[in-house]
Amino acid sequence: MSDDMNQQVPPNQPMPPMTPPTPPPSQGANMSFDPKDIEENKLLACLSYVNILFLIPLLAKKDSRFCQEHAKQGLLMFLAFIVGSFIFWFPVIGWLLWFAYVIINIVALVKCLMGEFWEIPVIGPYRKKINL
């Protein structure tokens, strides 16, 4: 017999437990803010999602990272409203877009009141490019 046949094959060793891959750090929900900053500024940051009032936290609280991130998103939402105001008049498609705009604004406002940061889909990543 050949030597290959006489060699014992080691028993199947159990595989180490698989851990789910950790998602890459994002600037969305995983952003960490100072809890004191959140508590002191969350009401002012909520103004970011009330149309032109995003200017108040943007200009008044330059030292608050929480306010600044929400205000930048508020600026983008305001720009989306300006562009969308030409589309919102069209039946069905415009109305659906208006409904989506209102829902997104409400969700962002509620998350802000809860002291969380929610990166708005599609337009949220563009806030990183705003340097004020």
For 38-95, write each residue's pLDDT tens digit: 999 999 999 999 999 999 999 999 999 999 999 999 999 999 999 999 999 999 999 9
Q: Which of 121, 50, 118 is nearest to 81 (CA)?
A: 50
What would the two tokens of residue 29 be? Answer: 């929900």
Cα–Cα distance, 44 to 75 (Å, whole number): 15
Nearest to 70 by CA among 129, 127, 132, 25: 127
Token digits of residue 62: 């330059």
Tokens of 64: 């608050």
Give residue 32's pLDDT. Answer: 85
User: Between 15 and 59, where is the model more confident?
Assistant: 59
Please check whether residue 97 is in contact with residue 89, taking contact to mean a CB–CB distance below 8 angstroms: no
| pLDDT at 110 (0 to 100) | 96
Q: What is the pTM of this model?
A: 0.72
- Is residue 118 within 8 Å of 28, Cβ to Cβ? yes
